[in-house]
Amino acid sequence: MDRSENTRETVLKASRAYYAHLAYYEDLLAQRDRRAAKTTERELDFLEFAFHTHATRRVRDVLDVACGNGPHVIGLANRGYQCTGQDYTPERVQIAKARAKREGVSVKLSQGDATRLEYQNEFDAVLALKILFLLPNDDDAMKSLRQIHRALRSGGILVCNIYNPLYAGKGWFSGVITKGLYVEESHARGIRITTINQLQDFEPIQGAAWEKETSIIEAPDGINIFRDRERVRLFTYWDILHYLQVAGFKENKCYPDWKTKPPKKPKAKMLIFVSRKD
């Protein structure tokens, strides 16, 4: 892997372009795809379960540090929480603002970097969903977790998640990493998003990869094709547990696949960590 490819600026620039290109279309799909809406509702149920089970204070104020188009932060606002969301990609923030308005909920939304959080003892829960493995390097991941710890009130919780690199079944992350290719098609009324994901470069020592994605979008505004790249870090359970502990979280529980009662042999495609600040 060419070293210049991995500077903070290069990774952030690629990520921003990718998430900007897809923002509008993913939102349209989310509005029209009933199955995706159900999945989000199940994730929101899990988050509320985590708030009730793991926080030792009542959860009212919630921060989402990479809220994307806002599925969780707006979903929780709909369920009565006081929500703040930020995202690095301004296009995603705009889409989230429009969605909050559409749904008639008040959410504080702004552009921001998950590694530049300046909050102190302000939240009862923080979400860092599908973001840690996208940050440009491990120092950033560590920095973000420390800042999240500072942002939480005592007894509050962090919920963060990663794709498990030890899962080799069907899915985007495993497909790209293990087979080098993953093709996916999602559609709803009037919109179809086809993505071709290819492994472009893999760094086997530090466990990081660049993936190349071609998105073919058929939507009301015509056919669009975007070519993007994204860097992903292959964090394992142990990496995240260690970073959480170094960041100050002593109580850490991991749930596979958003399941409040994991089966005996979980697939563990995704690992969801719930960590409490003392």
Binding site for ligand SAM (CB under 6 A): 15, 19, 66-68, 71, 87-89, 92, 113-115, 129-131, 134-135
* DSSP assignment string, 208-239: EEEEEEEEEEEETTEEEEEEEEEEEE---HHH
Closer residue to ligand SAM in complex, CB, 130/153: 130
Closer residue to ligand SAM in complex, CB, 33/57: 33
Closer residue to ligand SAM in complex, CB, 105/129: 129
* Smallest separation (angstroms) from ligand SAM to the CB of 258: 11
* Smallest separation (angstroms) from ligand SAM to the CB of 22: 9
* Smallest separation (angstroms) from ligand SAM to the CB of 278: 26
* Smallest separation (angstroms) from ligand SAM to the CB of 16: 7
Calculate the alpha carbon distances from 152 to 53, 57, 123, 174, 252 in Å. 17, 11, 5, 32, 15
Closer residue to ligand SAM in complex, CB, 8/154: 8
Closer residue to ligand SAM in complex, CB, 87/239: 87
Q: Which residues of 40-54 are buried (b: 16+ CB within 10 A; e: fewer)?
A: eeebbebbbebbeeb
* Smallest separation (angstroms) from ligand SAM to the CB of 65: 6
* Smallest separation (angstroms) from ligand SAM to the CB of 130: 4
* Smallest separation (angstroms) from ligand SAM to the CB of 141: 10
Q: How far is CA 236 from the centre of its chain?
A: 16
Closer residue to ligand SAM in complex, CB, 131/274: 131
Closer residue to ligand SAM in complex, CB, 19/249: 19
Contacts of 244-249 with C-beta under 8 Å, sequence gap 24+, read 244/145, 244/158, 244/273, 244/275, 246/142, 246/145, 247/142, 247/145, 247/146, 247/148, 247/149, 248/146, 248/149, 248/277, 248/278, 249/145, 249/149, 249/158, 249/275, 249/276, 249/277
Query: How many residues does this entry show for the chain?
Result: 278
Q: In what order do the strands lie in the sheet with 208-219?
A: 181-188, 191-203, 208-219, 222-233
Closer residue to ligand SAM in complex, CB, 105/114: 114
- Residues whose CB is less than 8 angstroms from the CB of residue 266 and which lie 6 or more positions away in sequence, other chains included: 256, 257, 259
* Smallest separation (angstroms) from ligand SAM to the CB of 216: 19
